[in-house]
Amino acid sequence: MTDIVYWPSATFFPLLTALTLVPLLTMGLVLFNKPARSLKLGLCGALLNLALSIYLLRVFDSQAPGIHLAESVDVLGLGYRVGVDGTNILFVPLTAILGLLALVYTMITRHRHDRLFVACLLAYQGILIGAFVALNAMQFWFWCLLELVPVVLLTVSAGTGEQRNQVVKTLLQYWLPGLGMSLAGFLLLSFGLMQSGLAFSFDWLTLKHHNLAIPRETLIFILLFFGFAVRMPLFPFHAWLPLLAEHGTAASAAIFLHGLKLGIYAVVRFILPLVPGAAEHWAGFVVSLGLLGIFYGALLALMQINMRRLLAFAVISHTGMLVIGVFSFNDFALEGSILLSVAYGLATAGMLFSIGLIYERTRTSYLPRLGGLFENNSAIGLLFLISALSTMVMPGTPGFDAAHLLIEGTIEEHGWLIAIAILIGNVVAAGFLLWAFQRLFIANPKRFVQPYSSIHHPVVQERIIALAICGLLVATGFYTTPWLKFIDQEANEIGEHYPEHHSHHANEPDHD
């Protein structure tokens, strides 16, 4: 039985609901105020949410397993359930950080007085936090459905290029079937409870406690997994992402790329605990897709001349690695996958912000048109380099310890060949990211680009973004232990309920 600690025992107000509502209420204020005030209001709301997320980390008890700061309300037969544990605790502050940095980035773009743009960024932040903390399957699904609204509006109203409507059409062609499959899976879970003589419910804790009584486990797994695979995105359900990254704005895409981790989170939250038997049975198939995705994404990234598309294929490659870790069914791999998801979210956003800042100066993101940018853009260059090193899981970055855990868990479950394949894929990733850095910042420029002066291009905001992301990556990279402690208890708890596997700590002797 999962322990539940309700919010009055840890804080004096419903913190998780506040984290969700602050961006949404600020969005309302932005829409009903003058355009000149929109960005200031947005920054105030984002700063407040960041402070609340830091407070969340302080009051969260990483030593106790189970759900913390839980809130539960039943209205008209509908259940509102939220809570945090080791699975989702780190995604909430990361969403708040990236939401704030996206607004800081907006200060130096043409959208700084665009009420709709600022409102959409705030709405996106609130929706992501609402989805990450949801402990009701239907509640989670509705947040994922609402996510389409800011994504579509940001792409149509603020995207780049002439193919924005086609991008939205492609996005809907993938996302709507994915949402339909995940909805069908959640409905089968709840109807399965009724067929077993239990009450109809979408409550995650209820579904988890009675998962052995739910029939049609394989069908539920297929619906949920393929629904979430579109959202990750996992090869071969990825075609919409390069288009969206290419034609969206850097501010919206940065927080969106973090939002992609919602797919990995959904697998850990709604598949592993609810249909663990089917997850183990289909693990070989999932691992095969992950391996194909690693090399497909890496090789396609090497072929790109548009930096935004290159980063999109890098995300596809990294997703394959994360999926393999999740389906290794041991504590090490699961902890590594969750922490690596957070590290990738921050590092990928850092690279995307750097590409966006370059675009603001040069009006291009094509590699053949760029070069020699480091001399006049050292802050942007360092932001890209440190972010790239983090995605390459270099020592001194948060991805290093996370990848070490993931590889150790993969060896334990799948053997050395799969682990070696993951490492080779990571070497390829290192190659295309370093190659991109060399062409952007070191190689001789292909054409003359007149750099903007500080009067026309406020470099203070650039340095704030670079300092914030680089500081977080370096600080967490050299001191990963506190972040692993947040995740450890929940990884152990999930591992104890696999039908065919047992937790690493239950089966293996201590390495003392």
C-beta atoms surrounding 270 within 10 Å: 25
For residue 506, the model assigns a pLDDT of 46
**pLDDT of 389 above 70:** yes
**Cβ 323 vs Cβ 292: under 8 Å:** no
What is the distance between the alpha carbons of residues 55 and 49, in angstroms, rounded to a whole number? 10
CA-nearest of 311, 313, 319 to 350 is 311
CA distances from 57 to 63, 109, 394, 485 (A): 13, 32, 26, 12
Q: What is the pLDDT of residue 372?
A: 78
Structure tokens at 107: 């200060």
Distance between CA 270 and CA 61 in Å, rounded?
23
Alpha helices in 305-446 (DSSP H): 307-326, 331-362, 378-391, 398-414, 416-437
293: left (phi over 0), alpha (psi -120 to 50) or beta: alpha
Give the pLDDT of residue 74: 81
Which pLDDT score is estimated for 455?
A: 40
Q: Is residue 78 part of a domain?
A: no
Give pTM, 2 decimals: 0.89
Residues in a beta bridge with 73: 80
- Average pLDDT of the chain? 83
Q: Which two tokens stand for residue 31?
A: 């829409």
- The string of pLDDT tens digits covering residues 418-436 is 888 888 888 888 788 888 8
Give pLDDT, residue 1.
Answer: 54
In a domain, 349, yes or no: yes
What one-character DSSP code corresponds to residue 75? E
Question: Angle, to 10 degrees, between the axis of helix 15-31 and the axis of helix 115-133?
Answer: 160
| Nearby residues of 77 by Cβ (< 8 Å), 6 or more positions away | none
Residue 322 lies in a domain: yes
Alpha-carbon distance 449 to 128, whole Å?
38
Say if 236 falls within a structural domain.
no
Confidence at residue 184, expressed as pLDDT on a 0 to 100 scale: 93
| Position 491 pLDDT exceeds 50 | yes
Is residue 230, in this structure, part of any structural domain at all?
no
Distance CA 366, CA 308 (A): 9
Q: Largest alpha-carbon pair distance within the chain?
A: 73
Q: Average pLDDT, stretch 332-339?
A: 87
pLDDT at 130 over 90: yes
User: 375 φ, ψ to 5°?
Assistant: -60, -45
- pLDDT of amino acid 434: 86
Mean pLDDT of 284-289: 90
User: What is the residue type of 81?
Assistant: R
**What is the percent of the chain with per-residue pLDDT over 70, rounded to a whole number?**
88
Task: Give the sheet arrangement for strand 78-84, strand by strand.
Answer: 4-6, 67-75, 78-84
| Whether the Cβ atoms of residue 361 and residue 449 lie closer than 8 Å to each other | yes
Residue 328 domain boundaries: 288-503
Q: Answer whether residue 181 is part of any domain.
A: no
pLDDT score for 448: 52
Q: Please report whether residue 252 resides in a domain.
A: no
Contact between 85 and 337 under an 8 Å Cβ cutoff? The reply is no
Q: What is the pLDDT of residues 346-366, one digit of tens each?
A: 888 888 888 888 887 777 778
Coil, strand, or helix at residue 178?
A: helix
The tokens of 318 are what? 């990294």
Per the structure, how many domains does the chain have? Answer: 1
How distant is the alpha carbon of residue 202 from its chain centre?
24
Does residue 441 form part of some domain?
Answer: yes
**CA 152 to centroid of chain Cα atoms:** 18
- Please compute the mean of the pLDDT values over residues 13-39 and round it to a whole number: 89
Res 161 pLDDT > 90? no
User: If pLDDT is split at 50, 70 and 90, which confidence band does 260 have?
Assistant: confident
Task: Kindly state the average pLDDT of the residues 304-308.
Answer: 84
Which pLDDT band holds residue 497 (cuts at 50, 70, 90)?
A: low
Q: Tell me the pLDDT tens digit for each residue of 37-72.
A: 888 899 999 999 999 999 999 988 878 778 888 888
